[in-house]
Structure 1
Amino acid sequence: MNKEITLVASGDSLITMRQSVHSEPDFMELVEIIRSADVAFTNHEMLLHDYEEDCYPAAQSGGTYTRAAPSIINELRWMGYNLFSTANNHSLDYSYGGLFATKAYLEAAGVTYAGTGRDLAEARAPAYLDTVKGRVALIAACSTFAPFGRAGDSRRDMRGRPGLNPLRYDTWYEVRPETLERIKKISEEMGIDGVIQSEDPGEFHFLRTKYVAGPNVGSHTKGNKSDLEGNLESIREAARQADWVLFSLHAHEGAWKDTERPAEFIEEFARAAVD
């Protein structure tokens, strides 16, 4: 194995028009940077289909309904990209039909991608790209998605649910003790009941939100244990099979009052992944 490899990683590719028609020097300079890398990665955030049967718009989109002509994958290949994530908030914009059509067009183009599948095992599985500098593995996940978008496990008696590889998280708000008492008072005045409260007086659930008394006022997050362990196991599997391992997370979550920093659960997972 070579000890060095060059990697170009870009953000979200939301491309609907041909790129190969352009020849402007500045643009071609960028293209040559992408082409020069051993591995060129991007988050492929467009679904590929021609509105085939079963490509119905879902009841909820990832903000808007993203779709491009299937030939767009050839434009990205022309630019030099050879490794793609398909796990993002638009993965299920056109229901399962859009997901399956996109997978079919990517596979027909012969590209390496990860992040979505016919069940959770397939969505979470590493994808492998063989290069002259060694084998590269990709695991791709997403933390920002509609609840119906996450893939589910298969069982012996039931097929799994198609979707994306999730990295879920729990959120709670830490407030001053006097603020927590006011929240409890509001709940009592509104007559909201039916919620099983914690025996800890410093914790209270109100309107589907958890509040905890403490000094670190603000919003806090912690990764879902099942998703953390599942993705870490995929990383361990990839490390056994590849020379280089790349993990991609598509996330819109930022730190409390500082969206330039990742949310706490992302930092938590990143440290665990490196370890």
Structure 2
Amino acid sequence: MHRGDRAKGYDVVGSIETNVADGFTLVAVGDLIVSRALTKSSQPGFGDIVDLLRGADVTFGNMETNIFDSRCFKGSPQAEYGGAYHVSLPELGPDLKAMGFNIVSYANNHTYDWGYEGMRETCRALDQNGIVYAGVGENLAQAGAARFLETPRGRVALVSFASTFESISRACHPAGEAPGRPGVNALRLAKSIVVTPDMLASLREIRGSLPNYCRDNEVSDTVEILGVTYKSGEKVGYSYEANSNDVARILRDLRQGKQFADFCIATNHGHAPGNWSQEPADYERAFAHRLIDAGADAYIAHGPHQLRGIEIYKCRPIFYSLGNFIMDDLRTPVGADMFESYGKDSRTDTDAEVTAAEMSVGYTSDPGFKDPVFYESIIAVSRFEQSQLIELRLHPIELGHSKRLANRGVPKLASPPVARSILERLVTLSQPFGTEITVENGVGVIRP
């Protein structure tokens, strides 16, 4: 307990107040898609990036790969996987620590690419290197629980969940004689397609003409065809509703995490409505506010592989997506299913050629990662004084979009023209949230 708690009259059991020492800093980045040790290589400009990461009390990223030695691995690539079989060498564990990472999320759509064996090997590698992680476990209670990092300026809790995940990876509680299921802490979303009233009327006519259609349970304002729900609205698009049981459970776990800590991070891996979108899904803003109301000191989202806007709510930062931080995707092995998915032959084509095909095509319904926007991002540095966010600095980075595959995806501080473009885009994306970003010497600055 920090000095001043009793003087302020805090309820030390149930308080959700921020309680960190002056100068507390949080560095937050997006997706860590990395397959090798980078601190040992001679990547131009990477040393400047490492200096930023090491200069904070807490350095956070989304762990979007798995760590194991394929030569002795006992698992196998899964039939359901996150669009690519992400895998890294065991040396990544100590290398992440050397970069400065001390806390990561591990709930995402790639957690189960290699089954529970891959998840457990990755957890073991993170544990061995003293990197705190959250969002996975041997059952849902473990996956949803807050995990804690001790720092000289306060104890930090992390609650991690994924709104984009493979169904096979969802953790569950034990029930009766049935044991719990290992996997990720999932936030399930019910997806609807919003159409105009005229479109809905046409869809209702189509549905009524289908064989074996029953009108007994018909709902007037929606139409469901083959499991897809359509509803009426002013603007065509996608709409999402978070599962109420998952929301209640996550809010409870977050509240408990904050009660045992001085600072609490809530983090969500979600692609919705798609990697093509620079705007968050329609459910997310209200949900982020509820998390902060419950005690989160920062909400960090990642998943769509590009930047989305920043909001300051009750003097706490909300990052709707921090994009990619490392996209060094030299994965091998890639698995037979990926060869088939991209029309390659494992007898004649290489893993690198499969990876290149996946990067150009992307996930289903997405345009792939050909656009430079997927290789431009920021490092967000939040600084606190008197337990209040006093300054948020946004350092633009670029990941070498034009480089060959073997050299692409490693961050460096962006050149002035690219930095200006990144910050201008971020200013525009943040305007709907009322966020003012000024630019000082090529760095974005928010002062609440």
Q: What TM-score results when the alignment is normalised by the length of structure 1?
A: 0.92
Out of 252, 271, 279, the position equivalent to 1:261 is: 279
**Which shifted more, 229-238 or 169-178?**
169-178
Out of 53, 57, 60, the position equivalent to 1:38 is: 57
% identity of equivalent residues: 32
Equivalent residue runs for 1:1-275 within 5 Å: 1=2, 2-22=21-41, 26-51=45-70, 52-191=72-211, 193=213, 197-198=217-218, 200-254=219-273, 259-275=277-293
CA distance in 2, matches of 1:195, 1:90: 40
**Residue-pair matches, total:** 273
Shift of 1:220: 1.1
Shift of 1:29: 1.2
User: Which segments of 5 or more consecutive residues in structure 1 lack a partner in the other structure?
Assistant: none
Say which SS state the counterpart of residue 279 (structure 2) adopts.
strand
Shift of 1:244: 0.4
CA distance in 2, matches of 1:65, 1:203: 37
Letter of the structure 2 residue corresponding to residue 34 of structure 1? L
Shift of 1:38: 0.6
User: Which segments of 5 or more consecutive residues in structure 2 lack a partner in the other structure?
Assistant: 3-20, 294-448
Say which SS state the counterpart of residue 165 (structure 2) adopts.
coil
Decide which structure has greater helix share: 1
Letter of the structure 2 residue corresponding to residue 13 of structure 1? L
**Which shifted more, 39-48 or 214-223?**
214-223
Say which SS state the counterpart of residue 254 (structure 1) adopts.
coil
Equivalent pair of 2:139/2:183 in contact (CA under 8 Å): yes
Say which SS state the counterpart of residue 219 (structure 1) adopts.
strand
Equivalent pair of 1:169/1:265 in contact (CA under 8 Å): no
Q: In structure 2, do the counterparts of structure 1 residues 263 and 18 end up closer, same or farther at CA, with 3 Å as the change threshold?
A: same
Q: What TM-score results when the alignment is normalised by the length of structure 2?
A: 0.58
Equivalent pair of 2:97/2:129 in contact (CA under 8 Å): no
Letter of the structure 2 residue corresponding to residue 75 of structure 1? D
